[in-house]
Structure 1
Amino acid sequence: MKDRYGRDIDYLRISITDRCNLRCIYCMPEEGICQTAHKEILTYDEIRRICRCMTALGIKKIKLTGGEPLTRKDSAVLVRMLKELPGIEKVTLTTNGILLKEQMAELAEAGIDNINISLDTLNTEAFKKITRREGLARVLEGLKEAMKYPQIGLKINCVPVLEDPENLINLAGIARDNPIHVRFIEMMPIGYGKEFRFCGEDEICSVLEGAYGEMTPITEKYGNGPCHYYKISGFQGKIGFISAMTHKFCSQCNRVRMTSEGYLKACLQYQTGVSLKDMMRTGCSDEELTEAIRKVIWEKPGEHHFTSKVIDEGESRLMSQIGG
């Protein structure tokens, strides 16, 4: 499936819950959000039906997100359901890692292909400041457990919210000591992210090169999205960047997103899309569902405008409600 700009759309990110067991300062208010009633969340069967229709349009890769996806009961069951769909090549997961140790064996058995762990610091006090919760030790235990399954690719996702070069150096050190890619994601002005200064790719590269030496760009792809990577001599893993602000990658965008309520979005910034849940629960056929999906993909915006006021329909949901 191509959109009107000729981009191949083969990647779907699905939020399976808006609930989270952390309260990261750039993502969610300290008191939490008004959570969506469980009856308004898509069932696993509804998610599978949508994904089955999407495979006919060329969707091959699925990422499960939240909120925190592992807070939803039996998330490994959904992984298995999606892996069994003809045409689906990869099912991956983004998690904060708090519950990963306990669920890792089930996820591996279900066939999860890759896991991204969101981790912004290795300092216990800084972790509490960013997430407003305890839990760094549990995240690191989850990472250690996941490393027992070498067939599953592991990545660390860091949003550099702390203005502390040493923090960046320490996180990058994970890739030096382990076969794990560490990726730095520029802060985007969505929800509470608007209140923070983003730390750009060039700034981070300067810090890391000062600590570890030359960073050499590489062309290999290590995932489904727009991340680009560098290698550093002596590192087992790579250093990656998702730089929506300073190195805009909209021309290569290959994804659409679906919220936990079944709202299909073609672009992170825009509210426009369609409620697939409403269609299914009012009795639509698979043909009608597929055509609605096709229309959203075809009308995918050409680019985001995070740094301007060009659009009138900017996204008002929080990142925890979108799936990021």
Structure 2
Amino acid sequence: MPDIIDLKAPETKVPTSLLSDAMGRRFEYLRLSLTDVCNFKCSYCLPDGYRKANGAPTNLNIDEIARLVRAFASLGLWKIRLTGGEPTLRREFIEIAGAVSAIPGIRRLAMTTNGYRLAERAQSYFDAGICAINISIDSLEPEKFKQITGHDRLAEVLDGIEAARAAGMTDIKINTVLMRNLNHQEIDDFLNFVATRNVSLRFIEVMRTNDNPQFFKSHHLPGTHVAKRLDDLGWKQLARKPGAGPAVEYGHDAAKGRIGIIAPYSQDFCATCNRLRVSATGKFHLCLFGDGGIDLRPLLASDSQYEELVTRIVALTQTKAPSHLLHQGDSGKTPHLASIGG
């Protein structure tokens, strides 16, 4: 394991979350899905495109979302990430972002996107309070990007990165799902990409879900493959920042950007978990690969339910399992990553 060095700026003090589980893990970060709809057809997630389930409940409205976030914020949770599906497909996306960013206690509003129309909309996202953005780019080769996503939009997505920077976003991350025999040959190309750009690119292991077991078997590649390459090239592991997600991040003296590795199959991956999830329809998920969500929507109808909602969130968080069961081939009830925000 490479030596850990601290290359980050001085930390800004953040509140201590009151949300904890039986293992003593504290939760300061909520991934809030706005929709399970996505307009891309990524081979590891929705290879056949989005298909609406019959009788599916409606998404939370803005008032319900605001009540939900206020409850979490009152417990010291200070970071929200808007996810999907593709969250920007919600017609009220800007209004939702503005409402969430205005809630007292929310210090950081982020979003994850496939980059759809980002080049033309980045400024409106920033103006609505979004200060950090994760953009999915699984290949730097146009034809391979099209093969993986079903869309010939690589140039458009790359333009979106620059638009986000021009809009004022200083925390820009790129999500790259690492896939054997699809894009693992591009690792050095991605390293060269971040060498000249102040972005963090995170290689994410393919995760097994209920609808992709064969794809997982064919294309899973452990994060250690990237870690060894980084070590060989002189990259050094960085200290973890407050509120950071699951990535182990690396820096290099000769590179402007950083590289992260998200390896859910690594030992003790769940030990530092600091995030909770709520689906677009109000289901509270304690783990991406849990046995299902608990419906909070009945407690989101009125402001008068605030205390009951807070009590329920605290009690449920205490029941979070120590770890996922991916190593046993059990991915819970997650049908695909778009279903509850990845």
TM-score, reference length from structure 2: 0.87
Structure 1: distance between partners of 2:44 and 2:277: 20
Indicate conservation of the 8 Å contact 1:41/1:260, yes or no.
yes
The CA deviation string for residues 160-190 of structure 1, in whole angstroms up to 9 with x for no partner, is: 1252443122122221010011111111112
Q: Within the alignment, does 1:300 sit opposite 2:320 as a pair?
A: yes
1:173 is aligned, of 175, 180, 192, to 192
Q: Measure how far apart 1:223 and its partner are.
A: 5.6
How far apart are 1:226 and its partner, in Å?
Answer: 1.8
Tell me how far 1:279 sits from its aligned partner: 3.6
| Contact 1:221/1:228, CA 8 A, preserved across alignment | no
CA apart distance, 1:300: 0.9
Q: Give runs of aligned pairs for residues 49-198 of structure 1, distance below 5 A.
A: 49-163=67-181, 164-194=183-213, 195-196=215-216, 197-198=219-220
Aligned counterpart, 2:235:
215
Q: Residues 290 and 275 of structure 1: is their aligned pair in 2 closer, same or farther, counting only changes over 3 Å? A: same
Find the residue that maps to 1:54 and give its secondary structure: helix
The sequence identity of aligned pairs, in percent, is 32
CA distance 1:167–1:193, change in 2 (3 Å): farther
The residue aligned with 1:280 is: 300
Q: Which moved more, 1:25-34 or 1:292-301?
A: 25-34
Give distance in 1, aligned partners of 2:78 and 2:303. Answer: 26
C-alpha change, 1:143 and 1:244, in structure 2 (3 Å) is same
Which of 17, 23, 31 is equivalent to 1:13? 31
**What amino acid is the match of 1:28?**
L
Is 1:155–1:181's contact at 8 Å kept on the other side of the alignment?
yes
Q: Is the 8 A contact 2:39 2:49 kept in 1?
A: no
What residue number does 2:286 align with? 266
Q: Secondary structure at the match of 2:38?
A: coil
CA distance, structure 2, for counterparts of residue 222 and residue 187 of structure 1: 26
| Shift in alpha-carbon separation, 1:165–1:180, aligned structure 2, 3 A | same
Q: CA deviation at 1:31?
A: 4.0
- Tell me how far apart the structure 2 counterparts of residues 104 and 110 of structure 1 sit (CA, whole Å): 10
- By how many angstroms is 1:15 displaced? 0.6
With structure 1 as the length reference, what TM-score do the two structures score? Answer: 0.91
- Measured in 1, the distance between the counterparts of 2:54 and 2:37 equals 8
Query: What SS does structure 2 have at the residue aligned with 1:147?
Result: helix
Question: How far, CA to CA, are the matches of 1:314 and 1:57 in structure 2?
Answer: 27
Q: Is the 8 A contact 1:27 1:191 kept in 2?
A: no
Over aligned residue pairs, what C-alpha RMSD do you find?
2.2
**1:243 corresponds to:** 263
Q: Tell me, in whole angstroms, the C-alpha distance in 1 between the residues paired with 2:311 and 2:54.
A: 27
Asked if 1:204 corresponds to 2:223, the answer is no
Q: For residues 302 and 220 of structure 1, do their structure 2 counterparts lie closer, same or farther at Cα, with a shift above 3 Å needed?
A: closer
What aligned pairs does 1:220-231 form with structure 2 within 5 A after superposition? 220-221=240-241, 224-231=244-251
Aligned-partner Cα distance in 1 for 2:284–2:304 = 16
Change (3 A) 1:247 1:117: farther
Which stretch has the larger CA shift, 107-116 or 220-229?
A: 220-229
Q: Mean Cα displacement is larger for which, 75-84 or 46-55? A: 75-84
Contact 2:251–2:258 (Cα < 8 Å) also in 1: yes
Q: What secondary structure sits across from 1:18 in the alignment?
A: coil
Given the alignment of the two structures, is residue 4 of structure 1 paired with residue 26 of structure 2, yes or no? no
SS in 2 for 1:307: helix
Indicate if the aligned counterparts of 2:180 and 2:221 stay in contact, CA closer than 8 A.
no
Letter in 2 for 1:17: T
Partner of 2:310: 290
1:181 maps to a residue whose letter is: S
Between the aligned partners of 2:235 and 2:32, the Cα distance in structure 1 is 33
Q: Structure 1 pair 186/175, CA: closer, same or farther in 2 (3 Å)?
A: same
Provide the rounded CA distance (Å) in 2 between the counterparts of 1:57 and 1:157. Answer: 29
Unaligned 5+ residue runs, structure 1?
none
1:280 deviation in Å? 3.1
One-letter amino acid of the structure 2 residue matched with residue 179 of structure 1: N
Q: 1:154 to 1:37 in 2, by over 3 A?
A: farther
Q: How far off is 1:74 after superposition?
A: 3.2
Task: State the partner residue of 2:7.
Answer: none
1:34: Cα distance to partner? 1.7
